[in-house]
């Protein structure tokens, strides 16, 4: 596989102040990104202004007014307009490690049968805004988590399994990974951080929305029903494979 164009989709609702960090972590990648699609809801003018400011400074940012009913529909709005052969995601309050795209694109190129490449997620509380890395001592944990920002995917994967489930306000990432597992999508997972996930008081996961638990349960139930329809046995493993790869290959 030769060089592939990359589109990055950033849903951003009320997180405009984080957007320059997110975009900065994309622009520092060794692999160039063709476009960064920032999807904002109708009344979030701060995000629209922040995105246009970044575009005026040379970032390949395209500002798109999207739906206001959650990150899943926003990501789908980005998918509908993305032109890249490889699709990646990043939430506005998170960041990419510096070597993410180089490692994942190289791994994707190695195996035409691999549809997506993921990795580990490092959760953190405070950011070194110069280095765009978690401040020393503020990284909470690094582990395997079903977050869309930790992977890149071939566009063809979404043509096979569809986009994000718009019935879910929470858990649309989990639902996507469950569909990937149930529909036998080949996912390689690298044993290295591919996402910096920022923990803060205003994030969706700390807001305590009453839909959180019910949406996670609904995603699991949809997987159970899907597997029955496909004639598959009940799932016994994890949502993500725990067969982590050392990459690049180590002697």
Q: Checking DSSP bridges between strand 86-89 and strand 139-143, what pairing results, if any?
A: unpaired
Measuring CA to CA, which residue among 22, 10, 205 is closest to residue 127? 22
Q: In tens digits, what is the pLDDT along the chain, a chain of 251 residues?
A: 346 899 999 999 999 999 999 999 999 999 999 999 999 998 899 999 999 999 999 999 999 999 888 899 999 999 999 999 999 999 999 999 999 999 999 999 999 999 999 999 999 999 999 999 999 988 889 999 889 999 999 999 999 999 999 999 889 999 999 999 999 999 999 999 999 999 876 776 666 667 888 998 999 999 999 999 999 999 877 787 767 888 676 54
CA distance linking residue 111 with residue 49, whole number of Å: 40
| Token digits of residue 24 | 């900065």
Q: Domain 6-229 is of which CATH architecture? A: Alpha-Beta Complex (3.90)
Question: 34 has which bridge partners?
Answer: none
Q: CB burial class (10 A; 0-12, 13-18, 19+) of residue 93?
A: buried
pLDDT at 189: 95
CA distance linking residue 30 with residue 97, whole number of Å: 11
Q: Kindly report, residue by residue over 98-148, the tens digit of the pLDDT.
A: 999 999 999 999 999 999 999 999 999 999 999 999 999 888 899 998 899
Tell me the backbone φ, ψ of residue 96, rounded to 5 degrees. Answer: -105, 135
CA distance linking residue 25 with residue 129, whole number of Å: 10
Alpha helices in 111-199 (DSSP H): 155-161, 172-182
Entry field: residues in the chain? 251
Judge whether 233 and 227 are in contact, CB under 8 Å.
Answer: yes
pLDDT at 203: 72
Q: Checking DSSP bridges between strand 187-198 and strand 86-89, what pairing results, if any?
A: unpaired
Measuring CA to CA, which residue among 216, 235, 234 is closest to residue 167? 216
Q: Can you give the pTM of this predicted structure?
A: 0.93
| Token digits of residue 125 | 């509380």
């Amino acid at each position: 596989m030769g060089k592939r164009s990359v589109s990055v989709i950033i849903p951003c609702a009320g997180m405009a102040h984080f957007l320059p960090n997110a975009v900065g972590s994309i622009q520092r990648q060794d692999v160039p990104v063709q476009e960064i699609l920032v999807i904002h809801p109708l009344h979030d003018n701060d995000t629209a202004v922040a995105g246009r400011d970044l575009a005026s400074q040379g970032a390949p940012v395209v500002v798109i007014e999207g739906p206001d009913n959650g990150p899943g529909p926003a990501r789908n709005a980005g998918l509908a307009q993305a032109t890249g052969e490889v699709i990646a995601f990043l939430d506005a309050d998170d960041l990419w490690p510096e070597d993410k795209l180089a490692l994942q694109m190289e791994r994707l190129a190695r195996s035409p049968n691999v549809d997506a490449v993921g990795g580990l997620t490092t959760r953190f509380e405070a950011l070194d805004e110069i280095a765009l890395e978690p401040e020393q001592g503020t990284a909470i944990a690094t582990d395997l988590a079903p977050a869309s920002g930790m992977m890149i995917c071939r566009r063809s994967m979404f043509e096979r399994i569809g986009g994000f489930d718009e019935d879910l306000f929470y858990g649309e990432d989990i639902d996507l990974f469950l569909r990937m597992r149930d529909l036998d999508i080949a996912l390689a997972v690298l044993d290295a951080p591919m996402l910096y996930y920022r923990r803060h008081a205003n994030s969706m996961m700390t807001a305590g929305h009453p839909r959180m638990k019910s949406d996670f349960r609904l995603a699991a139930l949809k997987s159970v029903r899907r597997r029955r329809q496909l004639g598959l046995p009940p799932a016994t493993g994890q949502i993500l494979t725990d067969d982590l790869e050392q990459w690049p290959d180590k002697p």
